[in-house]
Amino acid sequence: MTIWKSECPGKVKQFLWRLAHNSLPHRWRIERRGMEIDTLCPMCGRLNEDGAHLFLKCKFAKSLWREMQLNEERERLLACDGPKEMIYNILKLPEEKKLKCVMMLWAWWDVRNKEIAGEPSWNPSYVARRVNVLVEDWLRHGLNAQLGSQDKTECSVHLGQEVLQINVDGSMRENPSRGGWGFIIKDAKGQPVGAVAGHMQHISDPLQAEATTCLQGLYAAESWGMMRVQVQTDSLNLVQALNTRDLDLAANGVLFKEIRCFASLNFNQVVFSFCPRACNKVADALASFGAESDLIATVMWPDQAPEFVHGLVASDCAELFG
């Protein structure tokens, strides 16, 4: 069975294809492309992060395989001669076990990306429950029906080659180690195609907060199928850090490199530009909301903007079109 004929969601098929062709932007691969970054696994911090380590050998990944009662499959996959053979063997498994393996790998990659972005810590029981619920729903109600509703609510803003604008902003509380982030994605007419806000911990300075928000925005744009984006921020320092290498050796240098690398590997075009704070009020309001949302790590408004920023969005559109 080929990846594209498998009974998996479209975004998961893309993930599997990239995993099979060793094109996921894990740190070892990024370093081999000439970028100087920390190559240690962001999950365990013990060994270099390549595909085999991240998905099969990392001690935390192994705990997830055990939680999913799939450790025997993991051990068999370790004997495969490369990622293509691993995916081929997964797709030959019985339907339920195949879906569990595929969704667990995809969920683990999502956890890894959120860990890099500084989101709260995870636990294997939570990820396992998330995967099991998805698999059970698909098996009970039919994969296509379930995905139809999920695509409308989370992940199917497929906007092809249109250039989308992502306005990002990070916010720090009086407690300097905590803050919030928010971004809104708009089309060429200024209409929102999605907005997200969340809170973050262990933030050392405002520039780190801005960079973390930028990375979150790119993660969302990539998962929603966007290929050409313009990221706007009211932080001149962040624009300088992303458009040059002047700050690569600074405290947040690894994060700047991660953003540039993710952008180059996942998009046809990414532009980082400055916008005045007066033109970034929607993202600022979302970041403030995220800073206050301690009980919910991330809040998403697909295909729209939340009601509390409707006035700001309307004002932006009025200024854009006079």
The answer to whether residues 183 and 60 belong to one domain is no
Residue 319 has pLDDT above 50, yes or no: yes
Domain end residue (candidates: 109, 134, 155): 155
pLDDT at 158: 36
pLDDT at 7: 63
Q: Count the helix, strand and coil residues of the chain and give each as a percent rounded to the nearest 5.
A: 55, 15, 30
Distance CA 9, CA 196 (A): 22
The answer to whether residues 167 and 315 belong to one domain is yes
The answer to whether residues 140 and 207 belong to one domain is no
Helix (H, G, I), strand (E, B) or coil at 208: helix
pLDDT at 294: 64
The answer to whether residues 208 and 307 belong to one domain is yes
Distance CA 132, CA 134 (A): 5
Least confident of 26-30, 111-115, 141-145, 161-165: 141-145
Domain end residue (candidates: 130, 155, 180): 155
Distance CA 29, CA 127 (A): 26
Residue 22 has pLDDT above 50, yes or no: yes
The answer to whether residues 273 and 138 belong to one domain is no
The answer to whether residues 187 and 147 belong to one domain is no
Least confident of 34-43, 70-79, 255-264: 34-43
The answer to whether residues 246 and 188 belong to one domain is yes
The answer to whether residues 246 and 317 belong to one domain is yes
Percent of the chain with pLDDT over 90: 43
Element (H, E) at 286: helix 281-292
Position with higher pLDDT, 295 vs 146: 295
Per the structure, the complete domain to which residue 15 belongs is given by 3-155
CATH number at residue 239: 3.30.420.10
Residue 54 has pLDDT above 90, yes or no: yes
The two structure tokens encoding residue 31? 């370093």
pLDDT at 147: 39
Residue 238 has pLDDT above 60, yes or no: yes
pLDDT at 84: 92
Task: For residues 37-44, give the mean pLDDT.
Answer: 88
DSSP 10-74: HHHHHHHHHHHTT-S--HHHHHHTT-----B-TTTSSSB--HHIIIIISHHHHHHHHHTT-HHHH
The answer to whether residues 179 and 57 belong to one domain is no
pLDDT at 264: 86
The answer to whether residues 137 and 27 belong to one domain is yes
pLDDT (tens digit, 9 = 90+) per residue, 239-288? 999 999 999 999 899 999 999 988 988 888 899 999 999 899 999 999 99
Sheet holding 192-201, edge to edge: 269-274, 228-233, 163-172, 178-186, 192-201, 298-302
pLDDT at 246: 92
Number of domains into which the chain is organized: 2
pLDDT at 174: 64
Contact by Cβ (8 Å): 183, 217? yes
The answer to whether residues 117 and 168 belong to one domain is no
Mean of all residue pLDDT scores within the chain? 82
The answer to whether residues 143 and 176 belong to one domain is no
The model's confidence at residue 118, banded by pLDDT at 50, 70 and 90, is: confident
Helix (H, G, I), strand (E, B) or coil at 91: helix
pLDDT (tens digit, 9 = 90+) per residue, 139-187? 765 544 343 333 333 323 333 447 899 999 998 866 656 788 999 999 8
Contact by Cβ (8 Å): 67, 128? yes
pLDDT at 177: 65
Distance CA 45, CA 274 (A): 34
Domain end residue (candidates: 155, 171, 194): 155
Percent of the chain with pLDDT over 70: 81
